[in-house]
Amino acid sequence: MSTIATSGLAFEQVGLVFDNGTHALAGIDITVGAGEFVSLVGPSGCGKSTLLRLAAGFEQPTQGAVRLGGGTLGYVFQDPTLLAWRSVLRNVELPAELAGVDKRTRRAAARAAIELVGLGGFENHKPAQLSGGMRMRASIARALTGAPELFLFDEPFGALDEITRQRLNEEVSALHRRSGFTGVFVTHSIAEAVFLSTRVVVLTGRPGRVAADIAVPLDFPRTPQLRYSPEFGRIAATVSAALHEAEQPREIGHAA
């Protein structure tokens, strides 16, 4: 399961205007080094998910370039997108099954990933028999079976209660340390962004531009108590101030 991250990512002066004229992103310069964990925060509609889709190659920029270091990609969406009629095990093994991996190999990989996300014992449960947090764990396990070197998270825990979310943050952070993947994580939660990340990038309202790029010089492993440390509070306050500033309407004449 463990991988060595070879996979950095760079957005170079990236702009994107959709076919319908929506100007989603402008002049984005973000470099994510191999093994870094960078969160993207910003007002709704500022282009955070679009940046992930660009990183995955699902969209192409209309300006600038997206550069990838290579390596396998993992993607976790806001919705766990599990197939209702398949068990946890059969959902988690699905990508490998579609890729034609033999049953024995893919089952072993799926079982290992299920253990890693703490779902051992629930292999034969159907999604409807799981809590929201457990469904999201299954979704993460499914992505982990591909041993991602670049792992993209599109606000995966937004629908979960605070305690479940904190626990999953701790687990994602532990997986990051263990597997060494490069992480890019979209969230609306400042605490989640600071807890997980080596850097937090704050985007402005549409078209999204980089408003601030804030380092999180907190040690790993990130423990639950960290959330109550003065340093955590200071960094969260810095991100919060940048976010408030980024949400201010821009002056007329400051053209997109």
Binding site for ligand ADP (CB under 6 A): 18, 20, 22, 24, 42, 44-50, 206
- Token pair of 248, please? 């201010």
CB 236, CB 191: distance < 8 Å: yes
- Closest distance of CB 30 from ligand ADP, Å: 14
Do 95 and 109 meet the contact criterion of CB atoms below 8 Å apart?
no
Where would I find the beta strands (DSSP E) of 204-246?
A: 210-215
- From the CB of 205, what's the least distance to ligand ADP, in Å? 9
Nearer to ligand ADP, 117 or 203 (CB): 203
Of 47 and 80, the one with the shorter C-beta distance to ligand ADP is: 47
Alpha-carbon span 82 to 141, nearest angstrom: 11
Beta bridge partners of 15: 63
Closest approach, Cβ 191 to ligand ADP, in A, equals: 19
Least Å distance, CB 146 to ligand ADP, is 23
- Shorter beta-carbon distance to ligand ADP: residue 177 or 188: 188
Dihedral sign computed on CA atoms, order 219, 225, 227, 228: negative
For the record, the structure tokens of 111 come out as 């079982």
- The sheet that has 210-215: what strands, in order across it? 73-76, 150-154, 182-186, 37-41, 199-203, 210-215
Run of H or E residues at 170: helix 162-179
Q: For residues 233 and 61, give the distance between their C-alpha atoms in angstroms, rounded to a whole number.
A: 36
The distance of closest approach from Cβ of residue 38 to ligand ADP in the complex, given in angstroms and rounded to an integer, is 15
- Closer CB to ligand ADP, 117 or 186, in the complex: 186
Residue 29 or 231: the one with the smaller Cβ distance to ligand ADP is: 29
Q: How far is the CB of 23 from ligand ADP (least distance, A)?
A: 8
The smaller minimum CB distance to ligand ADP, of residues 18 and 85, is found at 18
Q: Are strands 199-203 and 210-215 parallel, antiparallel or unpaired?
A: antiparallel
